[in-house]
Chain A
Amino acid sequence: MSAPAPRTVEPSVAAPPRPGGGLPPDRPDVPGTSSRRRAGRRSPNHEERPNWWLTGLMVFLALSVFVPLYFAVVTALKTPDQLTGAGFDLPTTVRWENFADAWRLTDFPRSAMNSAVITVGTVVLTLLTNSMVAYAIARNMHRRAFKGLFYYFISALFVPFPILMLPVAKQTALMGLDNQVGLIILYTVYGLSFNVFVFVAYINSIPRELEEAATMDGASTWTTFWKVIFPLLAPMNATVGILTCLWAWNDFLLPLVIVSDPRAATLPLQQYVFQGQFSTNYPVAFASYLMAMIPLLLVYVIAQRWVISGVTRGAIK
């Protein structure tokens, strides 16, 4: 099945560059002098004419991202009787009360608080513990037990969640962890596989001389980790923090199987729980969806560059 895949890739990938075919290709007039080469590295815009045709196409395609969001906004502001036709028109009369209704109906403050507590708790605990585990593994790869542990964590990446979701739901219920605390622990533990992998790769690139110097000065391994290594991990902490945050905030399946008390419901779970109660009052439902999506969307808009560079860094490692 994967064999034909690359062949399908090629023609459609060719499409975007082709419109610019009439124009000179990228960096056409570079004679290869070293100064030119450096200048052309990441900022070709300054020296080359932008391809407006391609820019237009990319802007147009970017609109597809906004279509469902725009639709959610206009629908959330309508009265139910305005829901006719395709529904892309602006509301004739705006009903802000939809948000107030959704707020009360779904007990928004509680589920938002649950999501926030779970997300923040998971991110903090993940950064503090997973980086430490990775450090111990990375510096002891020559010891069989640590190497084994490394592959033990990594191999779990291939274990699909469905095989453990039934037993883990029973187990957490027995342990009294079918709540926010349980979710924080599970996210932190399940994140280990991927996080140890990226942290170890990053720690391997940190020279050991720093730690040796710290040890000479009489610092213990703990102190060395927290005072010397952990601050150096800042870029990777950002990457792992962002990915963990997106995961914990948006995940649906784990809360669905773990959480038994409705008062512990997260935002996505709450949207599902209230599907029946929204019934056909779509504007209230959409107001509720928007309120569930907006917090993280706002964080993203504010920290956008940082998020993208964080994810990119994770990919290159």
Chain B
Amino acid sequence: MSTETRPVDRVTDDAPPRRTVAARGAGRTFVWMVLPAFVLFFVFHTAPVLQGVFFSFTDSPGYGEWASVGFSNYAALLGDERVRHAYLFTAQFAIVATILTNVIALAVAVALNGRIRFKTALRGIYFIPNVLAILVIGYVFQYLFTFSIPAMAQALGVERLSTSILADESLAWVAIVVLAVWQGTAFSIILYLAGLQTVPPELYEAASLDGASSWQRFTRITFPMIASFFTINMVLSLKGYLQVFDHIWALTAGGPGTATESVALLIYRGGFQGGEYGYQLANAVVFMIVIIAFALFQLRVLQRREVSA
């Protein structure tokens, strides 16, 4: 980085003192290149966020009159059982799905990078779920969980699965994890494969000369070499899964009851349909803080691992 930017600085440091017409013109062109983007980004991203934060301190139902209520929305959130449940459910789902996605994706990527045949074809196949809309393939899964799996379980005499797990308060979340992992692994596999390609084969040669086992080569060479990819994948997966929406919408719509209601789903429902605009915006502000905290925590822990590994 630094070696790259230094000459850059020198070139332009030379320019300002002379202030040639051309240099000033180029500078102005660069400003025009970014200005519209900045304005649009502010209007469609930052402004809504600021509005969100502002209205989180009001009792606005999303239309008509509103009054400032200070922190009372935030205080009410603390005692709200439905909100608490949504956070616990979302965290549980996201953590389990993140771990499963990364374990499976890493295993598949290592295998795909190994001495196997049909590599290209298999790689292409494993990516397919990522090409499909979660909502649409989710409807297919919903049918499978509702009818096919119970039918198979009945035929095999498995009592526990003979009714739809989507209707089971304590098991419905498993179905959501299955869909999320099935769909999400695809992208992680490609990221891990990209990481594996950056490992110089010379390292393995040296290791095999020293008589290292496959397992040792994985823990001592492969994993440390792709640690940064592991970090990125874990952060991306968790951030995505914490915002889970489509999966649940397709499978359970938050049910049975509110057993599988995620935070994003609750904000959508309460905010758009429940007349809780201000209240759910307070929820969304808390949610944003939670997501940032999760990401920073993960980055710190995983990067410390990267260094020590």
Contacts and interface: CB of A to CB of B under 8 A. Distances in A.
Interface in A145-165: 146, 149, 152-153, 156, 158-165
Contacts of A2: 234, 297-298, 301-302
Interface residues of B, number: 132
A141 B248 CA distance: 42
A312 interface: yes
A281 interface: no
Contacts of A277: none
A37 B205 contact: yes
Interface string A1-30: 111011011101111111011000111101
Given A153-B41, A252-B249, A13 B106 contact: yes
Contact of B136 (A62, A271, A308): A271
Contacts of A284: none
A101 B201 CA distance: 55
Interface string B1-39: 000110111011100000000100111011101101110
Interface in A31-49: 32, 37, 40-41, 44-45, 48-49
A253 B246 contact: yes
Interface in B150-170: 151-152, 155
A274 B49 CA distance: 32
Given A253-B246, A271-B139, A297 B132 contact: yes
A220 B29 contact: yes
A115 to B, nearest CB: 10
Given A85-B151, A87-B151, A272-B249, A312 B115 contact: no
Contacts of B182: 64, 68
Contacts of A61: 108
Nearest to A63: B125
A171 B48 contact: yes
Contacts of B122: 58-59, 62
A86 B148 contact: yes
A249 to B, nearest CB: 7
A14 B215 contact: yes
A199 interface: no
A149 B48 contact: no
Interface of A: 1-3, 5-6, 8-10, 12-18, 20-21, 25-28, 30, 32, 37, 40-41, 44-45, 48-52, 54-55, 57-59, 61-62, 64-66, 68-69, 71-72, 75, 83-88, 129-130, 132-133, 135-137, 139-142, 146, 149, 152-153, 156, 158-171, 185-186, 189-190, 192, 204, 208, 212, 215, 220-222, 225, 246, 249-253, 256-257, 267-268, 271-272, 275, 282, 285-286, 289, 292-293, 296-297, 300, 304-305, 307-308, 311-313, 315-316
27 contacts: A2-B301, A5-B99, A12-B103, A14-B215, A15-B107, A44-B115, A51-B115, A54-B114, A58-B108, A58-B112, A58-B116, A61-B108, A69-B128, A84-B151, A130-B37, A159-B288, A160-B288, A163-B287, A164-B52, A166-B271, A169-B272, A222-B29, A257-B268, A300-B131, A304-B124, A307-B127, A315-B195
- Shortest Cβ-Cβ A-B pairs, 10 listed: A315-B194, A136-B33, A250-B133, A167-B48, A17-B214, A221-B29, A164-B48, A163-B284, A16-B111, A167-B51
